[in-house]
Structure 1
Amino acid sequence: MNVHKGLILDETAKFHQDAQDTRPFVPGTTEIWPAGAVLDERDRTALVEAALEMRIAAGPSSRRFESRFARKLGHRKAHLTNSGSSANLLAMTAFTSHLLEDRRLRPGDEVITVAAGFPTTVNPIIQNGLVPVFVDVELGTYNTTAERVARAIGPKTRAIMIAHALGNPFEVAEIAQLAQEHDLFLIEDNCDAVGSTYDGKLTGTFGDITTVSFYPAHHLTMGEGGCVLTSNLALARIVESLRDWGRDCWCEPGETNKCLKRFNYQMGTLPEGYDHKYIFSHVGYNLKATDIQAALGLTQLDKLDGFCDARRRNWRRLRDGLDGVPYLILPEATPRSDPSWFGFALTVDPEAPYSRAALVDFLEGRKIGTRRLFAGNLTRHPAYIDQPHRIVGDLTNSDVITDQTFWIGVYPALTEEMLDYVISSVKEFVGGHA
């Protein structure tokens, strides 16, 4: 290692240690965030090292992360993106590729999803000219069921795209079976659920393709970033093309002629021998991540198992501590699942003598951060009211979520002292109103 580089990295580690907030937790004063990144000196030095190497585009760290992450999640291929939202867009768009021939999705085809979720699971459906079909979810698990999905399948249904809510798996084995029986594509939005299992199998491995987010709130962070994973090599090739401007070439941007066939192609109406690096087979995007992001992802990946354990432990402490609190619907793991939780959802019973807003105001006043369960019922938002869509059944629970549900944090930086303060605060509020 270069002497100057070594000195800089040593000083970076010391800087990180000096910069740590060592103040004790003060109830009602110290912020208890609902989510956040957990970063140590290895993360900071990895970022600095990547910057010193001037790895400002995708490069060796990106390829190394893709390889390691694919193995970790049980897939053959992973493609880094600049966000989880971009990952969802690429995953959905991949199924519209002409390379899928008669199976490709076309404008007007329907995709089953849930009404109570985050917009970026639904937006790619609309952005590709497809029609979302909304179904309701269960209170407690905040996921839909295979029965609801089965009822929603119609003559125009071609795909299913659902997120595992707050890290809690939906009935993914049963829904994957439905997809197989009806020749539907299945996309698992696994952005909140890295490390979760259903029937002992990792979520994100049941469908044709899956997505992950590396936003700071998620299980791993790159600041921004996401990933598309699949074991279908044809789909992986389509995703790569769409991510990389739509080009047909699979050589890395810095490679000159790795395939040894760069000037041997004839495609479209282009002349024979046109440079393959500049032949485009899809109407694509530039949604790549950078090596600086990937360098952080690599150090984060080493800590994934510990992060997941902490999330489960924190969720269990909240669940045990709040058990029996009147008029609160507590979260439940989907049967046969082991969630790697993203958050702890609370629904105030509509018959409660207190309101969700009052409870949230009380908690926020004590510096306990809360978040809504994302968009609640998406069909009620101005962005979607006039968009073509279909609703199957009622959306009663999605409406209850819109009015009555919020979540609090379980991320690894939260201490037992913080969680116990959250528990005592909820009990104090409810005890004063019940």
Structure 2
Amino acid sequence: MDSQAERILDEVRKYHHDVQDARGFVPGVTEIWPSGAVLDEDDRVALVSAALDMRIAAGKLSRRFERDFARRLGMRKAHLANSGSSANLLAVAALTSPRLEDRRLRPGDEVITVAAGFPTTVNPIAQNGLVPVFVDVDLATYNTTADRVAAAIGPSTRAIMIAHALGNPFEAAEIAELAEQHELLFIEDNCDAVGSTYGGRLTGTFGDMSTVSFYPAHHLTMGEGGCVLTSNLALARIVESMRDWGRDCWCEPGESDTCRKRFGYQMGTLPEGYDHKYIFSHVGYNLKSTDLQAALGLSQLAKLDMFCAARRRNWRRLREGLDGLPWLVLPEPTPNSDPSWFGFVLTVDPDAPFGRAALVDFLEARRIGTRRLFAGNLTRHPAYIDREHRVSGDLANCDVVTDHTFWVGVYPGLTDEMIDYVIASIAEFVETHR
């Protein structure tokens, strides 16, 4: 790095400190966000440094992040995308590739998933002409169970795609075993759960593929961004092709003839020697990210352990502080798991003398941010009412989530003082309704 760039980055560090908000927490005035990015001077410098190098497309920083992140999760391959939603789309679309031959998913095939989640776990199923099969959740963990998944398997079932709820792992080992027994493909949506473990093993490592989001609310952020991970090299190659317009070539932008036979291919009904850079083996997309995003991601990745520890610490403080309050169903980690929590979820007992809305209004008036447990029951939303789907059993608990459940934050930007104010506020509201 030349001296001019070094001087600029020194000024960036000074600027970062100059613009920091030095005001302390003021209860009822300072906003307590349910989620958010935690960004320091190293993050700001990483972004500016990449900008000085004009890293405007995916390049060496993206490849470095993919290698480092795959290694961090113990997977062979990671492919960056422009969002977690795009990562989910790529993962499902990859399973429809003709290269999977008899294992490929085809229109009308069923994919087991959960009704109480975020739409982008389910949308790619419908977008690829597949049929979602919805299963219910438990009200302690907010995850489905292996028993529910097993009961949902039918003659048309070909895959499973489930998200770890708010960082709390589902029974990933048991569901992976079910998938193997029934020859089903299995995708873990790990967007909320980076750093969580089940049976001592990191989530995102049980399925054929897993996905991650780098939206600011998540464990690591690139502003926008996502990732598909797999240890199956054939699937990794399909994901890369579908992310990069569907092309067959694997050269990086600006590179040519990596395979040493750029003009030596004959594919489809194209003429012999057609330029491999312009042969398309999939109906793909352009879902790439940029090196600017990867630069921020690399800086964030160095802090992952610290972020996960803070999320666990904040969750425990809330759990201990709210323990024993009547009419609130408090969350429980899935047995045999160690969650890296995304949020702290609460369900108001349907028999309570107050409703979820009243409690949420009280908290929001105190500047304590709340969020719903995403869709609650997706089958009740206008986008899905007329979409083909199947329900296994009933969705009684998803309906409870729809009516009675919300969550508050545990992200690393929250201080003990903020967490204690959340606890005191909830306790005050409940006590006034005894």
- Give the structure-1-normalised TM-score: 1.00
- Give, in whole Å, the separation in 2 of the partners of 1:278 and 1:253: 13
CA shift for structure 1 position 140: 1.6
- Give, in whole Å, the separation in 1 of the partners of 2:100 and 2:186: 15
- Give, in whole Å, the separation in 2 of the partners of 1:27 and 1:56: 42
CA shift for structure 1 position 259: 1.6
1:335 aligns with 2:346: no
Aligned counterpart, 1:22: 22
* AA at the equivalent of 1:142: Y
- Give, in whole Å, the separation in 1 of the partners of 2:106 and 2:138: 31
- Give, in whole Å, the separation in 2 of the partners of 1:416 and 1:423: 10
Aligned counterpart, 1:356: 356
* AA at the equivalent of 1:347: T
CA shift for structure 1 position 260: 1.0
CA offsets, 1:270-295, max 9 Å, x none?
11111000000000000000000000
* AA at the equivalent of 2:336: R
* Percent identity of paired positions between Structure 1 and Structure 2: 79
- Give, in whole Å, the separation in 1 of the partners of 2:172 and 2:303: 26
Give 1:277-296 correspondences, 5 Å limit: 277-296=277-296
Aligned counterpart, 2:276: 276
Give 1:307-322 correspondences, 5 Å limit: 307-322=307-322
CA shift for structure 1 position 258: 1.8
SS at match of 1:5: helix
SS at match of 2:166: helix
CA offsets, 1:201-232, max 9 Å, x none?
00010110000000000000000000000000
- Give, in whole Å, the separation in 2 of the partners of 1:82 and 1:254: 20
- Give, in whole Å, the separation in 2 of the partners of 1:164 and 1:254: 38
Are 2:328 and 2:347, in contact at CA under 8 Å, matched by a contact in 1?
Answer: yes
- Give, in whole Å, the separation in 2 of the partners of 1:420 and 1:339: 21
CA offsets, 1:227-280, max 9 Å, x none?
000000000000000000000001112102222111111101111111000000
- Give, in whole Å, the separation in 1 of the partners of 2:170 and 2:401: 17
CA offsets, 1:296-341, max 9 Å, x none?
0000000000000000000000000000111000010000000000
SS at match of 2:227: strand
Aligned counterpart, 2:259: 259
CA shift for structure 1 position 4: 1.4
Aligned counterpart, 1:219: 219
- Give, in whole Å, the separation in 2 of the partners of 1:46 and 1:392: 48
- Give, in whole Å, the separation in 2 of the partners of 1:322 and 1:74: 36
- Give, in whole Å, the separation in 2 of the partners of 1:43 and 1:199: 33
Are 2:176 and 2:186, in contact at CA under 8 Å, matched by a contact in 1?
Answer: yes
CA shift for structure 1 position 3: 1.8
> Which structure 2 segments of 5+ residues have no match?
none
Aligned counterpart, 1:243: 243
- Give, in whole Å, the separation in 1 of the partners of 2:257 and 2:105: 33
CA offsets, 1:159-188, max 9 Å, x none?
000000000000111100000000000000
CA offsets, 1:325-376, max 9 Å, x none?
1100001000000000000000000000011000000000000000000010
- Give, in whole Å, the separation in 2 of the partners of 1:235 and 1:244: 14
Aligned counterpart, 1:88: 88
- Give, in whole Å, the separation in 2 of the partners of 1:277 and 1:302: 35
- Give, in whole Å, the separation in 1 of the partners of 2:297 and 2:59: 13
Aligned counterpart, 1:431: 431
Aligned counterpart, 2:123: 123
Aligned counterpart, 1:75: 75
Aligned counterpart, 1:107: 107
SS at match of 1:167: coil
CA offsets, 1:60-87, max 9 Å, x none?
1000000000000110000000000000
Aligned counterpart, 1:389: 389
* AA at the equivalent of 1:319: R
Aligned counterpart, 2:419: 419
> Which structure 1 segments of 5+ residues have no match?
none
- Give the structure-2-normalised TM-score: 1.00
User: Which range is displaced more, 250-259 or 29-38?
Assistant: 250-259
- Give, in whole Å, the separation in 2 of the partners of 1:282 and 1:107: 16
Aligned counterpart, 2:39: 39
Moved over 2 A (4+): none
- Give, in whole Å, the separation in 1 of the partners of 2:112 and 2:149: 7
- Give, in whole Å, the separation in 2 of the partners of 1:38 and 1:24: 17
Aligned counterpart, 1:346: 346
- Give, in whole Å, the separation in 1 of the partners of 2:259 and 2:302: 33
- Give, in whole Å, the separation in 1 of the partners of 2:256 and 2:203: 38
* AA at the equivalent of 1:251: C
Give 1:5-20 correspondences, 5 Å limit: 5-20=5-20
